[in-house]
Every structure is written in C-alpha cells, then in structure tokens.
Amino acid sequence: MTVKYTNEHEWIQLEDHEAAVVGITLHAQDALGDVVFVELPEVGRVYSQGEVAGVVESVKAAADIYMPINGEVVEVNEELRANPALANSDPMGNGWFFKILIADMAQFDVLMDEPSYAKFLKSI
C-alpha cells in the first residue's frame, strides 16, 4: 500500500484507487506527547486540501489535523475517539483518524514519499 506524507505531519495511505486512510505521523505524536482527546471530522463532509478536518489534544498542546487532499470523509475511527492513546501507541495503524474518498488523485501523487518525508524531518 502506498503511503504519502504532508509537511503538517499527516500520513495518507491508499486503500484502493479512490479511497484512503488518514492519520498523524510518528513525528507528530512524538511532538505532541500523550494524546488525551481527538475531534474527528463529520462523515459525509467534503474537505479541500489544507482545510482543518480535526483536532488532536495532548497533555502538551493542541494541534489541527489538516486534510491532505481534496475528499469526502466516509468513515471516522470511533475506537480512537474512545481511546485517544491509540494515536500514540499505533499512529500508523489502529490510531488512524478517518477515511476519505479521493477527489483529486493528482494531489496524492505530489505528496512526499517516505524518503522525502525523512529528509524533510531533518530540515526542520
């Protein structure tokens, strides 16, 4: 499965040619510390790339979750809402935030791959 990254520290993984899963990166959860609350987007809502789609709060700070590409939210992770610590314990797996139907695949294609994201992290 193809995973891409944003410079706001979200990841997006293709599930098939029109659906993808979105979450926060290991770097983001490390920076935030212990996550205590997540605000997830509304299912059925269409977001534009870069639009705030949720919030994650930790003992240290709160951070917006940005929509990595244009799309419609089709599912949210209710398990994460009930157990926000999943964002820390398994941010790239069970700690996913939401699933979307992709509106513009070209936006996905230009996001960072893993080596580019690793290089980006060294530059900040």
pTM of this prediction exceeds 0.75: yes
Q: Which residues, at least 6 apart from 33, have a Cβ–Cβ distance to it below 8 Å? A: 58, 59, 60, 61
User: Structurally, how many domains does the chain consist of?
Assistant: 1
Q: Residue 107: inside a domain, yes or no?
A: no
d(Cα 72, Cα 99) in Å, to the nearest integer?
8
Give the mean model confidence (pLDDT) for residues 70-99.
Answer: 97
In a domain, 110, yes or no: no
Q: Which residues contact 69 (CB under 8 A, 6 or more apart)?
A: 12, 20, 49, 100, 102, 103, 104, 107, 108, 111
Judge whether 124 lies within some domain.
no
Kindly state whether residue 108 falls inside one of the protein's structural domains.
Answer: no
Residue 15 has pLDDT above 80, yes or no: yes
Q: Which of 15-19, 63-67, 97-101 bottoms out in mean pLDDT, i.e. has the lowest?
A: 15-19
Range of the structural domain that residue 92 is part of: 3-101
C-alpha to C-alpha distance for 102 and 73, rounded to whole angstroms = 9
Mean pLDDT of 80-93: 96
Q: Which residues, listed in sequence order, are joined to residue 3 by a DSSP beta bridge?
A: 13
- Averaged pLDDT, 55-75: 96
> What's the rounded Cα separation, in Å, for the pair 71 and 60?
30
Domain containing 34 — which CATH number? Answer: 2.40.50.100
Residue 97 has pLDDT above 90, yes or no: yes
Please report the pLDDT score of residue 16 as a whole number: 83
Percent of the chain with pLDDT over 90: 95
Tokens of 28: 């983001």
**Residue 109 placed within a domain:** no
116 assigned to some structural domain: no
pLDDT at 1 over 80: no
Q: Is residue 53 in a domain?
A: yes
For residue 24, pLDDT beyond 80:
yes
- Range 81-99 average pLDDT: 96
Instruction: Kindly state whether residue 118 falls inside one of the protein's structural domains.
Output: no
Q: Determine the length of the chain.
A: 124
Does the structure show a pLDDT above 80 at 99? yes
